């Protein structure tokens, strides 16, 4: 992966609907060259998909929380991860090192909804304890591949 690939990735992160011609003008390549590069990045698993970024509060999901999950002894991590996937309120799930085994990003309509989610989590087989941190505000998200000044890594 070179600097042009990194520029293309950053441009797609900013506007996943950009045409190959637009991307080509941005990086100084023809549309077909951009197409080839993006196809290679997709085939290599660097670009894993395209999606719309939505404003959660606009969808009625005004509360975001990070929830650490501690597991019971001798619990199968994959089994618990499978159970957690069934809870649609969980946006992201990471298997982590430290006191907790999983860290979850949960979105809900309000604090009552968050409480219901925590009760469901606590009742999940293999979960021994939860630890919840409510997000007061989001300063930024999704900065993969970007330097603090907004410049693409490797550029």
Model confidence pLDDT, tens digit, residues 52-70: 888 899 999 999 999 999 9
Q: Read off the tokens for 24.
A: 């080509």
Other CB atoms within a 10 A radius of the CB of residue 112 amount to 10
What is the dotted CATH code of the domain comprising 3-43? 1.10.10.10
* Domain range annotation of the chain: 3-43, 56-135
42-49 CB contacts, 8 Å cutoff, 24+ apart: 46/1, 46/5, 46/9, 47/9, 47/12
Distances (CA, A) of 97 to 68, 94, 129: 11, 10, 16
* Confidence at residue 151, expressed as pLDDT on a 0 to 100 scale: 56
Q: What is the pLDDT of residues 70-81, one digit of tens each?
A: 999 889 999 999
Biggest distance spanned by C-alpha atoms of the chain: 57
Specify the higher pLDDT residue, 15 or 131.
Answer: 131
User: How far, in whole angstroms, is CA 69 from its chain's centroid?
Assistant: 18
Q: What is the pLDDT of residues 86-133, one digit of tens each?
A: 999 999 999 999 999 999 999 999 999 999 999 999 999 999 999 999
Q: How confident is the model at residue 145 (pLDDT cuts 50, 70, 90)?
A: low
Segment holding 104, helix H or strand E: strand 102-108
* Confidence at residue 149, expressed as pLDDT on a 0 to 100 scale: 56
Cα–Cα distance measured from residue 20 to residue 1, given in angstroms and rounded to the nearest whole number: 18
Residue range 56-135 in CATH 3.30.70.920? yes
Residue 138 in contact with residue 119, Cβ under 8 Å? no
> 3-43 and 56-135 share one CATH topology?
no
* Confidence at residue 148, expressed as pLDDT on a 0 to 100 scale: 52
């Amino acid at each position: 992966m070179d600097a042009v690939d990194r520029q293309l990735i950053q441009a797609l992160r900013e506007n996943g609907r950009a045409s190959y011609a637009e991307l080509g003008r941005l990086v100084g390549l023809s549309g077909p060259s951009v197409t080839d590069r993006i196809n290679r990045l997709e085939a290599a698993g660097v670009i894993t998909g395209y999606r719309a970024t939505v404003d959660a509060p606009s969808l009625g999901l005004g509360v975001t929380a990070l929830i650490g999950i501690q597991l019971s002894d001798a619990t199968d991590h994959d089994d618990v991860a499978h159970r957690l996937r069934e809870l649609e309120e969980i946006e992201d799930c990471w298997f982590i090192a430290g006191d907790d085994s999983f860290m979850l990003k949960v979105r809900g309509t309000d604090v009552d909804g968050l409480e219901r989610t925590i009760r469901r989590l606590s009742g999940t087989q293999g979960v021994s304890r939860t630890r919840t941190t409510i997000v007061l505000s989001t300063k930024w998200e999704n900065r993969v591949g970007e330097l603090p000044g907004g410049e693409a890594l490797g550029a």
